[in-house]
Chain A
């Protein structure tokens, strides 16, 4: 399976880290770790900009992080209107590891607070697309 399954709507089909989507199907959100210099990347990368190695391992992202910032969009770009309104946010795991995603529909704007503990889970859409989203539990 290629990367075109990633997200509400994908704009990328060929990428060397397409395996990310297979992991997502197994319920895992994975980043990459450079075997040579130990640099960790999320979103995952096939190549290390630090030491130029392409010898990478996968690692699973931490279970818990803190919501650094968030928004709720009331307008959407073409192709996303059906989901409006939807939240988006940045999760900070510490150690320079962060993640950007949509926020689960189950989490209302009034409930969102900076630095609240959150987790990130895979989410499957009716049309077969798969992504990950920020949730409370």
Chain B
């Protein structure tokens, strides 16, 4: 179990609709919290990695602008992007920079101001998030892609629309107690009643997925500060170590994808690599954050991460096993569904949640039993990129 690189500081902004400030100001909120959490100043940081999904940014090459605002020049800075998994990819790069001995302390800052562009602009760009040569010309969009996985998975494994609704109800349970979440309201079965004309969540976006199956767009930022073992031990009272870090990629085109009923291959590969590096098994994980951009994605993640056997993910939600008091709590901060999904900030926010859990500082969201090992599963695009990171005390 390697203990070479530790998280010494975490921060995130409130996730909101229509942030009243610029992207540099948004990034500052998360960075200041993380730096103060670590007990360092910008002079102590050797390099910064700035992460977002560029389709939402007006600012080209945002790394320089943000590094300057955060007081992180003249240290090296760079921009890293893998869409929705940008900030965990940033952490992967930071891990390599520190492990190689090139740097001792690296700050990874993820941000997204989805309201930076108009919704018409966003719709147009959304269509180009896929393979623009072979798929965007058909009018594809994210919900439709995840719906392809949901349809095949549900038909083969007996997962129902009610099971998916239960995932959303669970996320809303925790969105209510997470003051940083964008969606704070409870969700009940009535919200998903197709016979109720006022039930907005019941409207179908792309069969079989409904509005309520999709995550909440948000503006937000996150920051993770990482350090070498020597620095972490000197600076931090409660370092949280990266024990395993796995990543994978997949064909962008649906025509080159393996069996849709089995979920996302990137998640299986990344998880396997992370578990092997950490020298642990899924049973050792006490708390997890998974990429629930859609309800179906959480069920598929249960299986990719080995929390449930293939096809049996539904049992975990039916038995409430992934609630805070269950054997494997998942997304007890509200997840992407309720906390919100500011694309480039999401992975860093997931890491913050796990770090706080392992330190015993998660407040109302704290899972019982003093968890010692936590896991983050962060997916970019429709399983185009996948990162799984295992953390330990």
- A86 vs B147: C-alpha distance when bound (angstroms): 13
One of A69, A76, A77 near B149 (C-beta < 8 A): A69
Contact with A along B314-341 (1 / 0, CB 8 A): 0000000000000000000000000000
Can you name the residue of chain B whose Cβ is closest to the Cβ of A129? B137
A58 proximal to B (CB < 8 A)? no
- State whether A74 and B206 are in contact (beta carbons under 8 Å apart), knowing that A12-B133, A88-B140 are contacts in the complex: yes
One of B205, B254, B261 near A98 (C-beta < 8 A): B254
- A7 vs B206: C-alpha distance when bound (angstroms): 20
Q: Across the interface, which residues of A come within 8 angstroms of B134, CB to CB?
A: 43, 100
Binding site secondary structure of chain A = mixed
Query: Which residues of B218-242 are within 8 A (CB) of A?
Result: none
Contact with B along A74-115 (1 / 0, CB 8 A): 111111100100101110000000111110000001000010
Say whether B137 contacts A71, CB under 8 Å: no
The contact size tier of chain B is 35 or more
Say whether B138 contacts A102, CB under 8 Å: yes
Say whether A88 contacts B138, CB under 8 Å: yes
Say whether B133 contacts A15, CB under 8 Å: yes
Contact with B along A109-136 (1 / 0, CB 8 A): 1000010000000000000000100000
CB distance from B215 to the nearest CB of A (A): 15
Q: Across the interface, which residues of B come within 8 angstroms of A80, CB to CB?
A: 127, 139
Say whether B133 contacts A43, CB under 8 Å: yes
Say whether A70 contacts B151, CB under 8 Å: yes
Can you name the residue of chain B whose Cβ is closest to the Cβ of A42? B255
CB distance from B151 to the nearest CB of A (A): 5
Say whether B148 contacts A78, CB under 8 Å: no
A10 proximal to B (CB < 8 A)? yes
B1 proximal to A (CB < 8 A)? no
CB distance from A15 to the nearest CB of B (A): 7
One of B139, B147, B209 near A83 (C-beta < 8 A): B139
Say whether B143 contacts A73, CB under 8 Å: yes
- State whether A78 and B120 are in contact (beta carbons under 8 Å apart), knowing that A12-B133, A71-B206, A114-B152 are contacts in the complex: yes
CB distance from B25 to the nearest CB of A (A): 29
Interface-central residue, B128, B144, B255, by most chain A CB under 10 Å: B255
A72 proximal to B (CB < 8 A)? yes
Can you name the residue of chain A whose Cβ is closest to the Cβ of B139? A80
A57 proximal to B (CB < 8 A)? no
Q: Across the interface, which residues of A come within 8 angstroms of B132, CB to CB?
A: 11-12
Q: Across the interface, which residues of A come within 8 angstroms of B203, CB to CB?
A: 74
Say whether A74 contacts B148, CB under 8 Å: no
CB distance from A40 to the nearest CB of B (A): 12
Q: Across the interface, which residues of B come within 8 angstroms of A68, CB to CB?
A: 152, 259-260
A19 proximal to B (CB < 8 A)? no
Say whether B207 contacts A72, CB under 8 Å: yes
- A49 vs B114: C-alpha distance when bound (angstroms): 36
Say whether B205 contacts A75, CB under 8 Å: yes
CB distance from A25 to the nearest CB of B (A): 16
Q: Across the interface, which residues of B come within 8 angstroms of A76, CB to CB?
A: 139, 141
One of A73, A79, A109 near B124 (C-beta < 8 A): A79
Q: Across the interface, which residues of B come within 8 angstroms of A10, CB to CB?
A: 137
- A132 vs B155: C-alpha distance when bound (angstroms): 26
CB distance from B117 to the nearest CB of A (A): 12
- A58 vs B244: C-alpha distance when bound (angstroms): 45
Can you name the residue of chain A whose Cβ is closest to the Cβ of B132? A11
CB distance from B57 to the nearest CB of A (A): 18
Say whether B136 contacts A90, CB under 8 Å: no
Q: Across the interface, which residues of B come within 8 angstroms of A15, CB to CB?
A: 133
Q: List 16 A-B contacts (CB under 8 A).
A: A10-B137, A11-B132, A11-B137, A43-B253, A68-B152, A69-B149, A71-B150, A71-B151, A71-B208, A74-B204, A74-B205, A75-B141, A77-B127, A78-B126, A86-B139, A102-B139
The 9 closest A-B pairs by CB, nearest first: A7-B137, A77-B127, A80-B139, A71-B147, A69-B152, A78-B124, A78-B123, A11-B132, A100-B254
User: Which residues of B are in contact with A by a Cβ distance under 8 Å?
Assistant: 120, 123-124, 126-128, 132-141, 143-144, 147-152, 155-156, 203-209, 253-257, 259-261
User: Which residues of A are in contact with B by a Cβ distance under 8 Å?
Assistant: 3, 6-12, 15, 42-43, 68-80, 83, 86, 88-90, 98-102, 109, 114, 131
